[in-house]
């Protein structure tokens, strides 16, 4: 399963390439989704009702992966391991990584700098 991060979904809505084309292709599949954390980030950042409506039209049909016990445990391990190395990626990105790892997914993100640090996390390419 390909799991979209906030940045590529924002790029899709703005028509910015290469994310716009890649997300458009993935939206045609039944194995494209996002995380509950990304959903929260996007909806919390909506500047007005029009933007929120646009986000909901994009997000509602997507599979939304939850933060369950397994994902929370994976996220905690990710965060501790990276913090011990002085390479922390923050709470939200740790949670996203934990969810994707727990589901055996592949993360579609522009933020490779952060997520490449996560051992075992598969990253999808935009092009």
Residues listed for the chain: 127
Full residue range of the structural domain in which residue 11 is found:
2-124
pTM above threshold 0.85: yes
For the four alpha carbons of 113, 39, 101 and 79, in that order, the dihedral sign comes to positive
CATH number, domain with residue 82: 3.40.50.1010
Average pLDDT in the chain: 96
Q: Give residue-wise pLDDT tens across range 38-91.
A: 999 999 999 999 999 999 999 999 999 999 999 999 999 999 999 999 999 999
Is the previous residue joined to 18 through a cis bond, with omega within 30 degrees of 0? yes
Q: How many domains does the chain have?
A: 1
Cα dihedral 93, 37, 39, 108 sign: positive
Question: Sign of dihedral through CA atoms 65, 66, 68, 71?
Answer: positive
- pLDDT attached to residue 30: 85
């Amino acid at each position: 399963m390909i799991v979209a991060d906030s940045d590529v979904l924002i790029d899709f809505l703005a028509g910015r390439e290469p994310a716009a084309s890649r997300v458009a292709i993935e939206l045609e599949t039944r194995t494209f989704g996002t995380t509950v954390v990304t959903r929260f980030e996007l909806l919390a950042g909506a500047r007005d009702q029009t933007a929120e409506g646009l986000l909901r039209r994009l997000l509602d049909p997507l599979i939304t992966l939850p933060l369950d016990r397994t994902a929370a445990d994976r996220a905690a391990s990710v965060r501790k391991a990276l913090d011990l190395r002085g390479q922390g990626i923050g709470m939200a990105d740790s949670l996203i990584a934990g969810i994707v790892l727990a589901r055996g997914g592949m993360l579609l993100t522009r933020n490779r700098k952060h997520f490449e640090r996560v051992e075992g996390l598969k990253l999808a390419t935009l092009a």
